[in-house]
Every structure is written in structure tokens, then in C-alpha cells.
Amino acid sequence: MSSNPESCNIVAFEQFSNAIAELDTTAGLLKASVAISRHFSEQGDYRSVRNELDEISATVRKRVISRQQRAFLAHLHEVLFHEYGFQGNREAYYSAENNLLPSVLRSRRGIPITLTLIYKAVAEDLGLYVQGINAPGHFLAEVTTDDDSFIVDAYFDGRLLSREEAFDRIDQVTGQSVPRSDDLLLPSSNAQWISRILNNLQNIFAATGSRRDLVAMTELDSLLHRSQI
């Protein structure tokens, strides 16, 4: 059992420790993300988050007449990005709330990494296969259907991108021209996904001088890295 943390909420710490034991699954990825948010608020437990995601996928299912995966994909984008209105939080990009999954589900505003997590969870519930793409300065999804795969930018209303458009997007968000290397579009492991969320929060709290929260996120990050050894 992990020793008690100095700054992290003990319930959040224990939930995170349990989640990383199943981090190779999408359920574990969601649970770890929810556990991070538990440090800041008691609202938004895993079951309530899962219920909200199930509600979205059920809405998509009701629209699909064909059983073709492309039909599920089209209706997924219509429901998630237009009817539910999930989109990038351009007005307050660096708010800590954008990294907290329950908060993003409530506000329907987030950053690439949390919006992609919602996209992955709902899409996989519909039988699609989704991987995160751990791009520099950005986070994308690759969704696979029976006969094709697509790069998806959940931050920009679920736009489907070609490989070159994905590089252009990275250029746009980083402000520099990146090499057109497939190494920049590699799939993200679930551990990398969670580590990047924690890194975002550490950077935010370092910038704002929120020492307790900075130490708390560092404790979770250390717990994650120890589990990968």
C-alpha cells in the first residue's frame, strides 16, 4: 500500500492508486482522471461520470439505423460536438478546470486532452477503436472503423484531419514549423495520457503559486511513475 501523501487528498490518492492498477484499460484511464479531480472536489465520482458518458453514447445509438461503423462515427460527431456542444475552452485555456474530467463534462468546455478522453470513452462504447495521439503542444485522436482510420481534433469541434493537416495544426498551436515525422503522431499510452494531465496541472499551479496543489499533483505523478517501473 502507498504511504500517505503530504498534500494530496487521501481519498483522491487512494482512488488514483487503485486506478493505475488497471491503467491499461479505458476504464482505468477514466478512473485515474476522475481520481485527480477528487483532490479538488467531492463532486463527480467515477460512476456518475460513466453514467454521463453512457447517456451520450445511448443518444448516438438511437440515431443510427445502419450498423456500419462510419454511421456511428458520423452520428457521434453530430451528437457530441453539435448537440451536446463540447468544444475547446479558448477563453480560459489555462484554467485548471479544463484538466478535470467531471468539470469538463459539466461545462462542455475543455482542452484537447480531456475532450479527447471523452471522445474515446463514448466512441469505444459504440464499438469504435480510439487511440490518443501525444502530439507536441496538442493532443489528437485516431479513430479506426472497419475500413479506415481518421485523425480527429476534439478541441476544434471534432474536425477530421489528414496527416498533413495534423502537422499544420501542430504548427498552428506551437507557433513553429515542426518536422513532418510520424514520430510526432505516435499513439499515447494511458500512462502518458494521465502524466500529461498531471504535468498540465503542475505547470498551472507552479505559475499561480498554489504550492499545496502543486505538491499534490507531483505526488500523484510520482505514484504513476513508480507503477511503471
Mean pLDDT for each 10-residue chunk of the chain (229 residues)? Answer: 85 98 98 98 93 98 91 97 98 98 98 99 97 97 93 98 97 95 96 98 98 99 93
Instruction: Reduce the DSSP state of residue 21 to 3 states and report it.
Output: coil
Give the Cα separation of 183 and 136 in Å (integer). Answer: 10
Give the Cα separation of 193 and 211 in Å (integer). Answer: 23
β-strands 109-110, 149-153 pairing: unpaired
Q: Is residue 194 part of a domain?
A: yes
Q: Is residue 224 part of a domain?
A: no
Cα–Cα separations (whole angstroms), residue 72 to 59, 68, 101, 128: 11, 7, 23, 8
Q: What is the pLDDT of residue 2?
A: 58
Amino acid letter, residue 203: N
Q: What is the pLDDT of residue 1?
A: 45
Q: Provide the domain limits for residue 89.
A: 52-205
Q: What is the pLDDT of residue 10?
A: 97
Q: Is residue 110 part of a domain?
A: yes
Amino acid letter, residue 97: E
Please give the full DSSP string across 105-146, using - where no structure is assigned: HHHSEE-HHHHHHHHHHHHHHTT-EEEEE--TT--EEEEE-S
Q: Is residue 113 part of a domain?
A: yes
CATH of the domain at 123: 3.10.620
Q: Is residue 31 part of a domain?
A: no
Question: How many structural domains compose the chain?
Answer: 1
Residue 60: Cβ-neighbour burial (10 angstroms; 0-12, 13-18, 19+): buried
Q: Is residue 37 part of a domain?
A: no
